[in-house]
Structures are given as structure tokens and as C-alpha cells.
Chain A
Amino acid sequence: MRRYLVRRVAAVAATLLVVSVLIFVVVRVLPGDPALIIMGTEGSPEAAERLREALGLDRPLLVQYADWLARAVRGDLGVSIQYDVPVGRLIVSRLPVTGPLALMAALLMVVTALPLGLYAATRHRRAGDYLAMVLSQLGIAIPSFWAGLLLILLFSVRLGWVRSGGFDGWSGGLWHGVRSLVLPAVALGLFQAAVLVRATRSAVLDVLREDYVRSARAKGVREAVVIGKHTFRNAMIPVVTVAGLQLGQLIAGSIILESVFALPGLGRLALGAITARDLPVVQGVTLFVASAIVLINFAVDILYGFLDPRIRYE
């Protein structure tokens, strides 16, 4: 296990390095002159020159990269042009929206998808299975932002139960914050739940075909124990992987839902920065989110190694 861990940690470190190189190449190398992007067409040549010096763009690329990376590792992602505050602080201030939104959607995904997937598998090729599969096909086909619009239309425009968007903050208590995130979390979780239902169903079906399940049944183990103990626990190994990979998708998806529901999260921060030509903010958010997804995938890998000893000896 130890060797496996060391190998994985080295791999994830290398991966994060590649992530930083990719972002650096896109932001600093591909466009030619980042100063002109930030200034737009209005800036004078002298002002562009001053900005170039201020940003250190007159130095060799490799030096710029090393400097940028060294700062980023220490949490220094530069200063926002638009707000004139450190990008790191901006990101941290938006996390209490994006984080809970992704987590609530993940929770919703797990509590709906696992039981439904298990149910569908135990009703294989019967009405319940077909119904679950039809529901999941629909869930996969409906884009999350359209689902969000439909929820707004129903609960806000028609019924008037909730506001159509905005965030009340956490200062007014847990319920205050949760209330503004429920609809977006439902819209976001729906699609991913539909994906996970299918994964759960097929994983459970695979295990149900195993000899040990047949043996358990043959020696008279109650069906509830066969399903709950022998089947479900073993089926969870691939399901955990799928669910873990979906966490990254949920973070990406929350960027869209924040727009639908006017939530002040990371996604809206980055979108606003695009219109304001605030390159450091976009760069910082991208680096942060991409690194988070890589680390989540890494955690899933490790968890997988724990759950399934065979993986470690690959």
C-alpha cells in the first residue's frame, strides 16, 4: 500500500505541474501579449509598456513561469485588476457559495441514485427497472440549466414560493443559506443522479451474476442479506469511482447554475472577470478549480486502492 501511495502522490504532483503549464501557455504564450488583452484597444502604447513591466512580462518566459508558479504555490495568485484585491482572497470569498452548492448536489445525487439503481437492478427487466431507466434517460437528456429555468418557472413564477435567484448568505443561519441553494442543487444533482443510477444498476447487476451470490442464495441466506451485504458492498467499488469523478463535473456544473440563479460563486466571479478583462482572476479561478478536480480524482484513486486491494498491485 505504501509504495502505491508514494507512486500516486508523485503522479498527482506531476499532474498539477502539467495543469499549471497548460494554463500558463494559454494565458501568457498563446495570445502573444497579455498586456494588450487586459488594456483592450483603448490603451496607449506607453501605458501598455508600463503594465508589461508591472506584470513582469518583459522577462524571459521560463523566468515568468517559475515566478508565477512559486507565488501560486504559496497562495499568491496575483491581484484582481477589477477589484484591486488579491485573487486568492476573492476566490475564498466565493467558496461558501460554490462549495455548498456542489456538496448539496452531490448529496442529492447519492441519496436518489443509489437506492434507485439498486432497486432497478433487483427488478431487472421488469416494470420497475424499465421505469427507472426511462427516468434516467430523461434526466441525462435534460440540460441542468434548462431544468433550473423550469424550476424557477414553477416554484418562483407560478407558485411564488421562492425567489428566482440570489443568495441570502450564511450569516442569517443555516436555513437562510440552504434555502437559496435548494433549487440550483436539485437542477444540478438531477443530471448527475441520472448518470449514477445507470452506473449503480449495472454494477449491482454484475455482482448479482457472481458465483458467491448464487452460493449465498443456495444456502438459504435471506434475500435482504444477499442484496444488502453480499451484493451492495461489492458493487460499491466501481460506483464510488463514478461518483467521485462526478464531483468534478458537479463543480464545473455549478458554474452554469450560478448563472441561472444569480448566485455569487466562483463561476460568476470568472464570468464577470471575462467582461472586465480581469485576466488574473480568470487565471486564478481556472488554476484553483482544475487543481481541485485533479485532487478529487486523486482522492478517488486512493479510495479505490483501499476498497479494492487488487488495484494496488497492478
Chain B
Amino acid sequence: MTALGRRRPLRHVTFGLGVVITLLLVATAALSLVWTPADPLAMSIAVRLQGPTGAHPFGTDHYGRDVLSRVMRGAVTSIAVGVLAVGIGAGVGILIGVLAGWMGGWLQEVCMRTIDAIQGFPAILSALLFAAVFAPGVLISMIAIGIAFVPAFARLTRASFLELREREFVVAARALGAGDRRVIGRHVLPNTLPPLVIQATTSFPVAILAEAGLAYLGLGTQPPHPSWGLMLKEAQNFLSQSPAFAMFPGGAIALTVLGLNLLGDGLRDLLDPKGA
């Protein structure tokens, strides 16, 4: 039995479930790039707003497009936005965290206040501002979500740096004449990785939820591209005619987020035995 299974028997099951759902998500996204049951963009007014049928297992939308194909292609949007948003948040956050944790002094103060200030901007708020200044679109939603992740990554990095800065192996490396860049890159940063990896995994489902929310508000992915949030926005106008239309995109979001959260919980147990 693995360490994970021994400590928490049920965690074994939920972690497995998380892995399966995540693999399903990735497989669906990959498959949708080469094959979908129908063209996700092809309209056919004759069959609009149909419930699930043999030809359209998830039904059709208000333009008669195949909802299954659109849900499948929507997975690509979710994954892409999720990965890039977490990447932006981690990149900028770690940079600020390194500065704040390594330098100290007034620079640290500036970094900390910037982090506090960014905490005042949830993804929706930055997206509103960017959409007004530039134009709504998937790029600004990605950046807005990424910005919202910056404080968490920055704080984690800074905390690790403050702790590691005084440790013997770092002091030893310095005494041997290693410069800042080498000490940070070779000795400190690698040791801060586990908490950062956990943070990235747990941020991913949050990013997917945020992308859906922004697309729903019209601030993210723009029509006709399929995005789960955008599909829900479109479905809302036809709730009484075709309730099924609102079920499948929403279900796809919930299932994805559930799977990624279970995966994240399991990884946390594996990588961070103290916190479990």
C-alpha cells in the first residue's frame, strides 16, 4: 500500500477518482481538437433547442449547434485559460515573493503593499477594468485571473525564502562564495517548490471556475467560440424552452472542478505530509 493509502484509506479512492476525471478532461479536450460528433460552429436552425436525441446526445443550442461538440471543445478553452492564468500568477507571484523574501528593507515593504493591493482585485474586478479599457476577450480574462493568483504565490515564496535564508546549507553555499543568483536558483528556489506545486494544483480549478464566470458575464471568451460559461449565458435565455441546454455545460464545469479538487487534495497529502 502506498503512503497515501495507509494514512487515509478513503483518500485513496478520492485521489483515484480525481485522476480519472482529470484524465477524462484532458482526453476529451485532445479528442475535440481532431474529432467532434459534429462541427461545434455549424448552425442548423431547423433543429434548434432540441433536448437530448440520438443524433445530438446533449441536445442542440439556440442556433441548432450540437451541444456535445461544443462542450467537448469548451474543455480546450478551460484548460488553456487555466494553465496560462496559473502560469501568469505563479510567474509574477514567485518573482515578487523572491524580491520580498531575499532583499528585505524598503523593497520588501513595497512588494508587500503591492501584494496587499492586488488582493483587492478579484479576477472579476480586474476583468471589468481591462474590458473597459481594452476589449473583452479571452486574453484579458486570462490575465485578470492570473493577477488574482499573484498574492498567494508571492506570500508562499516569501515565507519559504525567509525561512530558508538562514538555514545552514544556504549559509554554507554563501560562505563557499556562491553569488545571489546561484544561491537562489540552485539552493533556495528548488526547496520552495513543493508548496508552490500544491498551490498551482489547487489554483487550477479556481481558474476554470473564474474563466466560466467571466465568459458568462461576456468579459471572457467571445462568441462563436465555445466556452462553458458562455454557453450558460446563452442557455439562460431559453431556460423555460430547453432546460437541458443549461444542464450539460454546467455539469461539465462542476465535474471538472470536482475532479481537479480531488486531485489537488490527494497531491497535497502526498507532497506535504505535515499539512495532511
User: Which residues of A line the B interface, CB within 8 A?
Assistant: 11-12, 14-19, 22-23, 26-27, 30-31, 34, 37, 125, 130, 137-138, 140-146, 149-150, 152-153, 157, 164, 248-249, 252-253, 255-256, 259-260, 267, 270-271, 273-274, 277-279, 282-283, 285-286, 289-291, 293-294, 297
Contact A145–B113 (Cβ < 8 Å): no
Instruction: Please pick, from A17, A252, A274, the residue contacting B125 in the complex, using a CB distance under 8 A.
Output: A252
User: Which residues of B line the A interface, CB within 8 A?
Assistant: 10, 109, 112-114, 116-125, 128-134, 136, 205, 209, 212-213, 216-219, 229, 232, 235-236, 239-240, 243, 246, 250, 253-255, 257-258, 261-262
Instruction: Please pick, from A17, A149, A164, A286, the residue contacting B128 in the complex, using a CB distance under 8 A.
Output: A286
* Cα distance, A68 to B243, chains bound together (Å): 48
B269 to chain A, nearest CB (A): 13
A278 to chain B, nearest CB (A): 8
Contact A290–B213 (Cβ < 8 Å): no
* Cα distance, A137 to B254, chains bound together (Å): 10
Contact B120–A290 (Cβ < 8 Å): yes
* Cα distance, A137 to B117, chains bound together (Å): 30
B216, B246, B257, B258 pick with most chain A CB within 10 angstroms: B216
Residues of B within 8 A of A153 (CB): 239, 243, 246
Instruction: Please pick, from A143, A259, A285, the residue contacting B253 in the complex, using a CB distance under 8 A.
Output: A143
Besides A271-B218, A282-B128, 10 other A-B contacts (C-beta < 8 A): A18-B114, A26-B129, A143-B213, A144-B213, A149-B250, A248-B122, A255-B124, A259-B216, A274-B131, A297-B120
A61 to chain B, nearest CB (A): 15
Contact A270–B254 (Cβ < 8 Å): no
Contact B212–A137 (Cβ < 8 Å): no
Q: 6 closest pairs, A vs B, by CB?
A: A252-B122, A18-B117, A290-B120, A146-B250, A282-B132, A141-B258
Contact B133–A30 (Cβ < 8 Å): yes
Contacts A274-B131, A282-B129, A285-B128; A149 near B117 (Cβ below 8 A): no
Residues of A within 8 A of B109 (CB): 14
* Cα distance, A270 to B128, chains bound together (Å): 7
Residues of A within 8 A of B258 (CB): 137-138, 140-141
Residues of B within 8 A of A255 (CB): 124-125, 128, 217
Contact A274–B128 (Cβ < 8 Å): yes
* Cα distance, A145 to B10, chains bound together (Å): 31
Contact B119–A146 (Cβ < 8 Å): no
Contacts A26-B133, A27-B129, A259-B216; A149 near B246 (Cβ below 8 A): yes
Contacts A141-B261, A143-B253, A255-B217; A271 near B116 (Cβ below 8 A): no
6 A-B pairs with C-beta separation under 8 A: A18-B113, A141-B261, A143-B209, A286-B121, A294-B117, A297-B119
Main secondary structure of the interface of A (DSSP, over half): helix
A16, A31, A270, A274 pick with most chain B CB within 10 angstroms: A274
Q: Who on chain B is nearest to A23 by CB?
A: B129
Contacts A252-B125, A282-B128; A297 near B116 (Cβ below 8 A): yes
Instruction: Please pick, from B129, B212, B213, the residue contacting A286 in the complex, using a CB distance under 8 A.
Output: B129
Residues of A within 8 A of B112 (CB): 11
Residues of A within 8 A of B132 (CB): 27, 37, 270, 273-274, 277-279, 282-283
Contacts A137-B262, A140-B257, A252-B124; A293 near B133 (Cβ below 8 A): no
Contact B119–A256 (Cβ < 8 Å): no
* Cα distance, A253 to B236, chains bound together (Å): 18
Residues of A within 8 A of B205 (CB): 141
Contacts A157-B243, A285-B128; A11 near B121 (Cβ below 8 A): no
Instruction: Please pick, from B116, B123, B218, B253, the residue contacting A11 in the complex, using a CB distance under 8 A.
Output: B116
Contact B122–A249 (Cβ < 8 Å): yes
Contact B133–A145 (Cβ < 8 Å): no
A257 to chain B, nearest CB (A): 10
B120, B213, B255 pick with most chain A CB within 10 angstroms: B120
Residues of A within 8 A of B117 (CB): 15-16, 18-19, 22, 290, 294
B255 to chain A, nearest CB (A): 7
Contacts A141-B257, A153-B243; A31 near B128 (Cβ below 8 A): no
